[in-house]
């Protein structure tokens, strides 16, 4: 099985030369990053209508970018995918301890899954978000 089977992916948008962006990436893709943990979850286990949930981390976004981000993007039926923006700032992440930073990531991801559950219900998608959230909680602890 290749990486194409995982249901959750991560993307980070940072400003050029932003040291905080480099630091943030270690929390996703570093030695203790959550990115590899998320790849253990395969979309086949959660239904047929969602192949990819992409958590899009925006590190210190500029005001224009920030005000144009949606809480959750529209479901893309053709791709069976949805984008989930998460804003990362000094206040909610960089001013915190390492433990609090991981806690922020876990809590925010789980909260976004609650929003995603609303989309799944409204669109009548065959996706077991409750099971995904339960599995994710186990993996993130």
What are the residue ranges spanned by the domains of the chain?
Answer: 3-140
For 60, list phi and psi in degrees, rounded to 5.
Answer: 45, 55
Give the whole-angstrom CA distance, residue 68 versus residue 71: 10
Q: Which tens digit of pLDDT belongs to each residue from 45-89?
A: 999 999 999 999 999 999 999 999 999 999 999 999 999 999 999
Per-residue model confidence as pLDDT tens digits over 5-41: 999 999 999 987 789 999 999 999 999 999 888 888 9
Q: What is the rounded distance in angstroms from the CA atom of residue 24 to the CA atom of residue 20?
A: 6
Using CA atoms, how far residue 91 sits from 21, 45, 48, 97, in Å, is: 14, 36, 38, 12
φ, ψ for residue 126 (rounded to 5)? -85, 80
In this prediction, what percent of the chain has a pLDDT beyond 70?
A: 98
pTM over 0.85: yes
């Amino acid at each position: 099985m290749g990486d194409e089977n995982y249901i959750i992916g991560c993307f980070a948008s940072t400003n050029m030369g932003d040291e905080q962006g480099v630091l943030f990436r270690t929390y996703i893709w570093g030695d203790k990053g959550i990115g590899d943990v998320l790849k253990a979850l395969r979309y086949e286990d959660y239904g047929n209508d969602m192949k990819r949930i992409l958590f899009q981390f925006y590190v210190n976004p500029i005001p224009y970018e920030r005000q144009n981000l949606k809480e959750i993007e529209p479901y893309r039926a053709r791709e069976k995918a949805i984008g989930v923006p998460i804003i990362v700032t000094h206040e909610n992440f960089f001013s915190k301890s390492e433990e609090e930073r991981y806690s922020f990531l876990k809590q925010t991801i789980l909260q976004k899954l609650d929003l995603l559950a609303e989309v799944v219900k409204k669109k009548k998608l065959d996706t077991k978000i409750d099971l995904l959230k339960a599995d994710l909680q186990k993996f993130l602890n």
